[in-house]
């Protein structure tokens, strides 16, 4: 369970370029919920996600994950619960490292990175099996640098990397924004499958209203740093895509 | 021939700097120029320890720790105080000049009648050749150690820190700690070069570090070119080629001196040489667009 209570985040406080990104926000996300967040640019969606991930820390308010107070915990310590997929396919993987090395690090998300060589034959087999599930033929290219793959392939692999180690929460920050429609569909499908199979709690930020409509079991609309509308599972089913479009016009 | 052997020996002694710069610049993507200071620090500590008849291995450990501390301080300034890495390096390098003088008590320390790493074992009567074999052993040990480190889980995390910081933080690595450790390691290796050179030339000098960072840069850049030629993707191969870069660099300098360039112009020649190496890939004499 993720809980934000009275969270406020202001950038450049009391300067000319002050931005109130999140104002007094309360949000509780139940276990295994799949929350979709929509809102126009600058409405605070990414800030919300970064606050949960710990990349930025709130000015006021408290954040809890599984009843642990994590308000002041930096991102690299929240990684024991949270895996992330970024908007930019380059951010979620290390381009100069091989696919295998990337997966090795992902497999150690919750564990210390020690002075042993962990990329052994056994580990290679495990990674091969996992990657084969994607049906992209990447299981034979484990030694290839991540940077030589396409954006879609990298996003799909980043998703897969999130479940290499025990994971509870998956944060998806516009994961398909940089992808062509076919790759985007594949990435969203993979995300759905993983969330269901591993019983993850997930948050998806998207500008694609079709995705917002079809995925997830809860939908919120953010406006100016607050939650304007909140639809639970049943009421979300009654929404049409046109309803969503009308919020942005 | 002996002339080139000496250049080769120098090149091997500088392998610590080459590997250090490779780690800070290529692996961590941090331009670190603490090098000048930590190299002289290594030399001065060597001079003091050996003239006080401490055993070699204790002197070497002291040198590694001293260099590591210098690098860690640069790392702390860079990560905790959020100061630009170049400036952090310059600050520590400047401060180290005084530290080095204080450590040594004077500006020059000759090693007379002290134990030297180059007399550690005896294979041939040729002093230079003997030194070569000892250096070869040291360098091989160095490459094996660093190569192993970079292949471990910790090493992969190091490489990822310089490559994709957002990713590695999301995977539970404190990148500040990583950078501090990386800079400590890099400067530890640099100080080791000071340790070796001091014994090769027979004295430590307060000015020995001036402009030495360029030797590391030159080695790494030549090494990079070689890595490109040989299309090396393995960690070991890359490290070896960086070392080869260091040796090539010294040999080219030796040739310039041999053809009669004034020794006073050595630093100018060095700078020009690095400039040429850096700009070569950018100078397209034949335009190709593929």
Position with higher pLDDT, B231 vs B1: B231
Residue B288 pLDDT = 60
Please, is B170 exposed, middle or buried when counting C-beta atoms within 10 Å of its C-beta (0-12, 13-18, 19+)?
A: buried
- Parallel, antiparallel or unpaired: strands B108-110 and A68-69: unpaired
pLDDT at A246 over 90: no
Test mutation, B158, B172, B235, chain A, max A CBs within 10 A: B172
Q: Do B172 and A118 touch (CB under 8 A)?
A: no
Mean pLDDT of chain B: 91
Q: How confident is the model at residue B91 (pLDDT cuts 50, 70, 90)?
A: very high
Please, is B164 exposed, middle or buried when counting C-beta atoms within 10 Å of its C-beta (0-12, 13-18, 19+)?
A: buried
Rounded mean pLDDT, A26-41:
94
Identify all chain B residues contacting A114, using CB atoms and an 8 Å cutoff.
152-154
Q: Is the minimum CB–CB distance between B171 and chain A shorter than 8 Å?
A: yes
Of chain A, the percentage scoring pLDDT greater than 70 comes to 100
Helix ranges restricted to H, chain B: 2-13, 15-21, 35-51, 56-80, 85-104, 127-151, 153-163, 165-170, 175-201, 213-230, 235-258, 266-279
Of chain B, the percentage scoring pLDDT greater than 70 comes to 96
The CB density around residue B26, as the number of other CB atoms within 10 Å, is 18
Identify all chain B residues contacting A105, using CB atoms and an 8 Å cutoff.
153, 156-157, 160, 168, 171, 173
Position with higher pLDDT, B279 vs B17: B17
Test mutation, B79, B149, B162, B164, chain A, max A CBs within 10 A: B164
Residue B70 Cα, gap to closest chain A Cα (Å): 24
Q: CB under 8 Å to B171, separation ≥6 — which residues?
A: A76, A79, A105, A106, A108, A109, B160
Identify all chain B residues contacting A53, using CB atoms and an 8 Å cutoff.
170
Residue B283 Cα, gap to closest chain A Cα (Å): 26
Residue B287 pLDDT = 60
Q: Do A91 and B164 touch (CB under 8 A)?
A: yes
Q: Do B152 and A83 touch (CB under 8 A)?
A: no
Test mutation, A86, A113, A118, A120, chain B, max B CBs within 10 A: A113
Identify all chain A residues contacting B235, using CB atoms and an 8 Å cutoff.
none
- The pLDDT tens digits of the residues spanning A198-240 come to 999 999 999 999 999 999 999 999 999 999 999 988 888 888 8
pTM: 0.91
Structure tokens at B136: 């070869």
Rounded mean pLDDT, B40-62:
95
Residue B118 pLDDT = 85
- The pLDDT tens digits of the residues spanning A56-78 come to 999 999 999 999 999 999 999 99
Closest partner CB to B160 (pick from A79, A90, A105): A105
Q: Which residue has the tokens 């800079």?
A: B183
Residue B159 pLDDT = 95
Distance from C-alpha of B160 to C-alpha of B145, rounded to nearest angstrom? 19
Q: Is the minimum CB–CB distance between B145 and chain A shorter than 8 Å?
A: no
Identify all chain A residues contacting B157, using CB atoms and an 8 Å cutoff.
105, 108, 113
- The pLDDT tens digits of the residues spanning B168-224 come to 999 999 999 999 999 999 999 999 999 999 999 999 999 999 989 999 999 999 998
CATH topology of domain A2-247: Rossmann fold (3.40.50)
pLDDT at A44 over 80: yes
The CB density around residue A42, as the number of other CB atoms within 10 Å, is 13
- The pLDDT tens digits of the residues spanning B251-268 come to 988 888 888 888 888 888
Distance of CA A41 to the CA centre of its chain: 18
pLDDT at B229 over 90: no
Q: Do B151 and A117 touch (CB under 8 A)?
A: yes
Q: Is the minimum CB–CB distance between B175 and chain A shorter than 8 Å?
A: yes
Q: Which residue on chain A is closest to B167 by alpha carbon? A: A92
- The pLDDT tens digits of the residues spanning A154-208 come to 999 999 999 999 899 999 999 998 889 998 999 999 999 999 999 999 999 999 9
Q: How confident is the model at residue B286 (pLDDT cuts 50, 70, 90)?
A: low
Phi, psi for B9 (deg, rounded to 5)? -60, -45
Residue A55 Cα, gap to closest chain B Cα (Å): 9
Q: How far is CA B172 from CA A83, B177, B193, in A?
A: 10, 12, 34
Residue B1 pLDDT = 64
DSSP label of B26: I
Residue B27 Cα, gap to closest chain A Cα (Å): 10
Rounded mean pLDDT, B57-78:
97
Every domain of chain A and the residues it spans: 2-247
Of chain B, the percentage scoring pLDDT greater than 90 comes to 71
Longest dimension (CA), chain A: 57
Structure tokens at A160: 């897969």
Test mutation, A46, A53, A73, A101, chain B, max B CBs within 10 A: A101
Q: How confident is the model at residue B228 (pLDDT cuts 50, 70, 90)?
A: confident
Q: How confident is the model at residue B290 (pLDDT cuts 50, 70, 90)?
A: low
pLDDT at B285 over 70: no
Structure tokens at A8: 């406020």
> Is there a contact between B163 and A146 (Cβ–Cβ < 8 Å)?
no
Rounded mean pLDDT, A126-147:
90
Name the helix (H) or strand (E) containing A102: helix A99-107
Residue B231 pLDDT = 83
Which of A69, A67, A104 lies closest to B157, judged by CA? A104
List of E strands, A60-209: 60-65, 68-69, 82-85, 169-173, 201-205
Q: What ipTM was predicted for this assembly?
A: 0.90
Mean pLDDT of chain A: 92
User: Which of left, alpha, beta for B72 (phi over 0: left; psi -120 to 50: alpha)?
Assistant: alpha
Q: CB under 8 Å to A195, separation ≥6 — which residues?
A: A34, A170, A202
Closest partner CB to B168 (pick from A55, A105, A143): A105
Q: Is the minimum CB–CB distance between B124 and chain A shorter than 8 Å?
A: no
Please, is A248 exposed, middle or buried when counting C-beta atoms within 10 Å of its C-beta (0-12, 13-18, 19+)?
A: exposed
Residue B108 Cα, gap to closest chain A Cα (Å): 40
> Is there a contact between A47 and A9 (Cβ–Cβ < 8 Å)?
yes
- The pLDDT tens digits of the residues spanning B105-118 come to 999 999 988 888 88
């Amino acid at each position: 369970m993720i809980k934000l209570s009275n969270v406020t985040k202001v950038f450049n406080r009391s300067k000319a370029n002050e931005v109130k990104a999140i104002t007094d926000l309360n949000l509780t996300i139940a276990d295994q919920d799949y929350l979709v967040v929509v809102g126009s640019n600058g409405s605070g969606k990414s800030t919300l996600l970064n606050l949960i991930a710990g990349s930025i820390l709130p000015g006021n308010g408290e954040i809890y994950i599984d009843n642990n107070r994590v308000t002041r915990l930096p991102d690299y310590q929240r990684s024991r619960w949270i895996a992330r997929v970024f908007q930019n396919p380059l951010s979620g993987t290390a381009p100069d490292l091989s696919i295998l090395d990337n997966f090795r690090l992902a497999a150690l998300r919750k564990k210390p990175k020690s002075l042993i060589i962990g990329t052994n034959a056994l580990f290679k087999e495990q990674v091969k099996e996992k990657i084969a599930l994607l049906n992209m033929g990447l299981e034979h290219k484990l030694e290839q640098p991540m940077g030589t793959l396409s954006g879609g392939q990298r996003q799909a692999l980043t998703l897969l990397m999130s479940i290499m180690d025990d994971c509870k929460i998956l944060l998806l920050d516009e994961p398909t924004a940089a992808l062509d429609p076919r790759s985007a569909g594949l990435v969203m499908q993979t995300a759905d499958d993983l969330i269901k199979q591993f019983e993850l709690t997930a948050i998806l930020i998207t500008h694609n209203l079709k995705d917002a409509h079809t995925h997830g079991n809860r939908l919120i609309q953010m406006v100016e740093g607050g939650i304007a509308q909140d639809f639970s599972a049943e009421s979300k089913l009654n929404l049409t895509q046109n309803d969503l479009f009308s919020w942005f016009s | 021939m002996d002339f080139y052997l000496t250049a080769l020996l120098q090149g091997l002694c500088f392998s610590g700097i080459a590997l250090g710069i490779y780690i800070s610049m290529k692996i961590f993507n941090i331009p670190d120029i603490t090098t000048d200071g930590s190299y002289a620090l290594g030399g001065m500590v060597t001079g003091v320890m050996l003239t006080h008849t401490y055993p070699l291995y204790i002197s070497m450990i002291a040198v590694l720790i001293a260099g590591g501390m210098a690098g860690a301080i640069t790392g702390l300034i860079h990560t905790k105080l959020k100061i630009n890495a170049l400036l952090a390096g310059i600050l520590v390098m400047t401060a180290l000049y005084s530290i080095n003088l204080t450590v040594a008590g004077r500006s020059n320390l000759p090693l007379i009648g002290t134990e030297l790493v180059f007399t550690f074992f005896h294979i041939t009567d040729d002093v230079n050749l003997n030194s070569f074999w000892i250096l070869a052993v040291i360098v091989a040990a160095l490459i094996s150690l660093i190569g192993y480190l970079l292949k471990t889980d910790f090493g992969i995390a190091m490489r990822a820190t310089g490559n994709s910081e957002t990713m590695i933080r999301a995977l539970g690595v404190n990148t500040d700690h990583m950078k501090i450790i990386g800079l400590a390691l890099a400067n530890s290796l640099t100080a080791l070069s000071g340790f070796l050179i001091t014994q090769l030339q027979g004295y430590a000098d307060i000015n020995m570090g001036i402009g030495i960072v360029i030797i590391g840069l030159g080695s790494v850049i030549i090494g990079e070119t070689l890595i490109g030629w040989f299309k090396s993707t393995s960690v070991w191969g890359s490290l070896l080629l960086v070392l080869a870069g260091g040796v090539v660099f010294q040999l080219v300098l030796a040739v310039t001196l041999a053809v009669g360039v004034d020794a006073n112009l050595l630093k100018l020649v060095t700078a020009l040489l690095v400039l040429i190496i850096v700009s070569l890939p950018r100078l397209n004499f034949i335009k190709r667009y593929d």
